[in-house]
Every structure is written in C-alpha cells, then in structure tokens.
Amino acid sequence: MARLSELTLHELGDLLAKGACRSEEIVRDVLAAVDERDGRLDAYLSMDAEAALAQARAADEQRRGGRTGPLLGIPIGVKDNINVCGAPCTCGSRILAGYTSPYDATAAARLRAQGAVLLGRLNLDEFAMGSSTENSGFKPTRNPWDTRRVPGGSSGGPAAAVAAGECVAALGSDTGGSIRQPAAFCGCVGLKPSYGRVSRFGLTAYASSLDQIGPLAKDVRDAALLLGAIAGHDPLDSTSVDSPVPAYAAALGADLAGVRLGLPGEYFVEGLDPEVEALVRAAIERCAALGAEIVEVALPHTRYAIAAYYIIATAEASANLARYDGVRYGFRAADAETPLDMYARTRAAGFGREVKRRIILGTYVLSSGYYDAYYLRAQRVRTLIRDDFRRAFEQCDAILTPVSPTAAYALGEKTENPLEMYLSDIFTVPANLAGICGLSVPCGFTAGRLPVGLQILAPAFAEATVLNVGHAYEQACAWRHARPGIGDAPPE
C-alpha cells in the first residue's frame, strides 16, 4: 500500500471520513517525506513542523466533534509569495529576509477556514520572476524526476513538493505560466484560473493585471477541490469578480462526446521539441478517441505574445517593487549617508540580477518618450490576442496545446541567456494576457523519463470545462499514478 504522503487529496479525504487514519498521521508522514527528500530537492524555504502538527490535532478534534469537509486536516503547501499569518513571506528574495506576515492572503484564509493544514513556505524564483526557480535568492529547487534538472518556475517549489509527496497539494501563482510550466516539468496538475476568479489579496504583486493564485495537485480532482475552496468574490480585491463558484469537483465525470477541442497551428512551430510534440499529438488523438471533435483554429497574434508580455509585466513590476526601499520592512543596507543612498544600497544588495533586469526594463518602457512606443503598443497587442481567443472559442469549447517547447532542462542551461529562458514561456503567456483559464495535465514521458504536459485552455470563467476535459483525458491514461524516483538520474 502506498504511504499516506503519496496519496491524493481526495483519497486521503475518504480515509479521514471513514476514520481509517488521522490528520496527525498524514502530517507526520508528509513531514517524514520532507526530511527524507528535501535535502535533494530544496523545495521548502521554511517549515514549522510543530505548528503543522498542532493544526492537524485541531482538525482531528473537529472531526471527532462531527465536522466534515474534503480539506479538513489535509496538509497543503504554500508558495512563499502568498501571505500566511505568522509565517515568513520572503518571495524568494533577500530584500524580505526576516519579514513575517501579519495577515493571511484571502486564498490562505479560505483554506484555513476549510480546516486545511497550512504547511511550510515553498521556494520560487525571486518575486515570481523566472521559469526555472534558479532565480531564487536563497537556493535553486531541483526536479524530483531528475535532480540535475530544473523543476520549472516560478512555482518550482510547489510543483516539486507535490510531485515528491512533500505536501498533498499546494498553492502557487501564475503570471505568465508559473503554475502550468512547473506542473508540466514535474508531472503534476496545475491550474491557472481566469483573472478575477481567485482573490489576489495577500499575493505579493509582480504584475497586477496578470497575476493569479491557483492549485498544484496530484490529479485533476484534487485541483478541482482546491479551486472550489479558494475561488469566489472578495471585497478586499477590486479585480475579484462577483460570480457564483460552481461545484467543480462534483461536476467531474462527463465524457468528451460532442466536445469541440481546438488545435492552433501557431503552437506547433519550429523550436518545439519533437518528443514533446509527439506526446501532445498522441494526447490529442486520445481525446478524439474519447469522443471529442478536433477542429483547427487560428491564433495569429501568438507570435507577439512574448514581446507584449515582457513589456507589460516588467512595467507593472517596476511600479509594484518600488515599495521595497528599506524603510518599512525587510532588508535595509547599513552605513548609508543619505536616504537616497540608503534606497540605492538596499535595492542593489537586496534584489537579485533577474529582478533588477526586469525593473530596469519596466522603468525604461514607462519612461517619457517610450511609453507610447512600447507600453501602449503592447497593450494593443494584448487586445488582439484576447480577440484571437474570443474568435477561436466561437468554434470550440477548449483549446489543446503543449505547455512548454521542451521537457525539463538542465540546471544552469539557460541562466546565461535570458532571452532563451523567456522564450520557454511562449505557450503559456497568451492565456495570462487574455485573462482566460488554463490547465496543465501530464500526457506522458520522454525517452529519458521526463514528464510532459498537455495544456487545456478555455474562455474566462470556464474552469469547469478545462477540468472536465482534463479529468476525462487523465482517467484514460495510466501515468496519472506515476511518481518520481527522486534521484540524480531519472528512474528506469
């Protein structure tokens, strides 16, 4: 029998409901998995084991008192840019070293209200700026399928922890693919909700018009359960949409008969690894065999997405990160002679190279004489991309694409070439620009036993569609049960 830490959220929920195990047992087994494995992976930045066990005991006591719920007593990891009261929130940056959050993000508060056990803080690229978790200000995280490779980013810590059984599920954030790409690299399920579906209150801002909190999980049902817990209107977030939250998990089980799935030629281009393409096309064929109708759709402005994204995102980042100046919280440089000198020294020492690069780029595109040429033009391209998706969804219910052009690449392979790193987001950033939802679900392994993800895109607030398509596909595939060996080389 699989150990408790290897089971899915819904499997553990069933065991807890039957009285076959206790939350404290689950948390102890997950903590043991962290002790055994995280020295190889470095998924966690911090962990308060006693606090987690105290939450587990409280959940067990509530169950004895008659309380029920799918998340009650389930240990959930949280990316370290989502605030959890009383816990560090470094955002993977030395500029926030020593900072402890005084409040819960709305998503964290909603998990807490459901009785979930909030585990430690999971690693990420600094301020969520990166695609490999190598930009963390503290340490890189490693892929549990092959520890010589990256887990993806920026939610590399959550994805690696979920895949390795170091938490049952996790919350991540997605600004340009930061949930979906690491989910694909680590062989788990990752969902980027539509913009406005999940409150951003308490998510440390990178690019405010693009950021979304979402789940990483071992299977689609777990992702649906987590989304149902955190979604919904929040008066603390002005971009949160006041729309009913469907019962996502309860609605799973529909087949693909009559479902129209779009296939955009713009996502099958030069630079797409042949093994990745073959696995994604095999997944599309499997969906067709399950009854779906495959239709060709066009997304002609996809080729401009990366350029538009890195103008809009960096412009917003340059404004959002101006608050880290050494005055109110976090790191402050010593021996400064004037306030201006203190600001400059603090930011120079506190921020890493990639964050500085994006702040400089964003400040430039917003500067006098360049605003119209870059930022406004990028926003017009964003509108064109959104219109492309609107027209495509008139012909289909959802769109199938690769998540990333390659499987997980070697640590250090792209760190000296930022443009090559940015291009690895080519298939994920359009969904953020358009504000639609997207799901990454495992669709097989390369010859080197590295996971590959299938991306399912649907219109804004059609999360039920991507979850149903993903669930139907997942149930027809054996690799949903695969778990990594966690070694230097991929398991045979």
Q: List active site positions.
A: 79, 154, 178
Alpha helices (H) in 77-215, listed in sequence order? 106-113, 156-163, 180-186
Q: Structure tokens of 127? A: 């301020």
CA distances from 50 to 16, 53, 54, 98, 331 (A): 21, 5, 6, 20, 27
Rg, Å, the chain Cα set: 21
Nearest 5 degrees, angle CA 280-CA 282-CA 284?
70
Please state at what angle helix 220-230 crosses helix 106-113, rounded to 10 degrees.
110
Q: Closest Cα to residue 45, out of 156, 138, 167, 175? A: 138
Q: How far apart are CA 73 and CA 471, in angstroms?
A: 25
Peptide bond before residue 199 is cis, with ω within 30 degrees of 0: no
Kindly compute the dihedral angle of the four CA atoms of residues 140, 455, 166, 72, in this order, to the nearest 10 degrees: 140
CA angle 248, 253, 257 (to 5 degrees): 120
Gap between the Cα atoms of 417 and 340, Å rounded: 32
> Which residue in 349, 351, 354 sits closest to 133, CA to CA?
354
Q: What is the CA angle 150-151-156, rounded to 5?
A: 125
Nearest alpha carbon to residue 90 among 75, 105, 80, 101: 80
Please give the Cα distance from 87 to 107 (Å, whole number).
15
Starting from the edge strand earliest in sequence, which strands make up the sheet with 451-458, in order? Answer: 44-46, 117-122, 75-79, 169-174, 212-217, 189-192, 437-445, 451-458, 398-402, 260-264, 293-297
